[in-house]
Amino acid sequence: MMHHLTDETLQDYASGVLNSSMETLIACHLTVCPVCRRNAILAEAIGGLSFNDNPAAEMKATASDILAMDKTVPEAHPSSLQHVSQPAISQPGVPRPLARLLPTTLDDLPWKSFGPGLKQYNLGSQPRKEGAFKLLSLDPGSKMSKHKHKHRELTYIISGSYSDDIGHFKAGDIADLSAEHHHSPHVDSDVPCISLIATDAPVQFDSLFGKIVQPFVGI
């Protein structure tokens, strides 16, 4: 069974209210999951219908004003066109929204160890209280301390697999967890489990040990 995005996360994605870390991670899963892609399109269609549902606010300009602007206002280059020029290093298991953010292959990344068999590569530059955006590589058999999340934690599995209280997650799956979930993932594949994680608030470890190492790990 494939693990999918929840409806409320897809709705937030379609509405455009998530940060770019979450968007990247969701776009990775949508690349490999036609089911979620279809649901995202459905959410956009609902968003479109919601236009009809509201009284129109008064506009300062008329349609003719816009046509006049067409002759005077230069074509904007929205940032949405910028990343097209950035080359993405093609490598197995890495969808393009993520590949664009990586300077090199997964093997050659300057990973930082944070425990035996555990390493991470940081992709985000936001302050820790705003959440994390990083790659985790966990060796076979390793286990994360039990923790929960204040708001939302998304995990996209790039390679290998892990299991936790919720289920078994393998490459291409997404784990879409919210504040209700406590979990302690353990890697059950015979290759390292590499995953992309994005949170919107620091995780809350249940154990004292987790709480002590947390500032050094930065999740």
State the residues that interact with another protein by CB under 8 A.
6-8, 11-12, 14-17, 20, 23-24, 27, 30-34, 37-39, 41-67, 69-70, 73, 75-76, 78-83, 90, 93-97, 151, 178-180
Distances 55 to 52, 62, 214 between C-alpha atoms, Å: 8, 17, 49
Structure tokens at 38: 């279809």
How near is the Cβ of 157 to another protein at its closest, in Å?
Answer: 13
Cα separation of 197 and 118, whole Å?
Answer: 14
Count CA within 13 A, CB hemisphere, residue 193.
25
Nearer to another protein, 112 or 151 (CB): 151
Q: In what order do the strands lie in the sheet with 168-170?
A: 168-170, 161-163, 186-187
- Smallest separation (angstroms) from another protein to the CB of 178: 7
Strand order, beta sheet including 118-122: 112-115, 118-122, 133-138, 193-199, 152-159, 174-178
Q: How far is the CB of 203 from another protein (least distance, A)?
A: 18
Q: Which is nearer to another protein, 47 or 167 (CB)?
A: 47
Cα 68–Cα 73–Cα 78 angle in degrees, nearest 5: 130
Q: How far apart are CA 175 and CA 3, in angstroms?
A: 7
Q: How far is the CB of 96 from another protein (least distance, A)?
A: 4
Q: How far is the CB of 63 from another protein (least distance, A)?
A: 4
Shorter beta-carbon distance to another protein: residue 14 or 219: 14
Of 194 and 217, which has the nearer Cβ to another protein? 194
Q: Which is nearer to another protein, 9 or 120 (CB)?
A: 9
Find out whether 197 and 133 touch, Cβ atoms under 8 Å: yes
Nearer to another protein, 79 or 129 (CB): 79
CB of 78 to another protein, least distance (A): 5
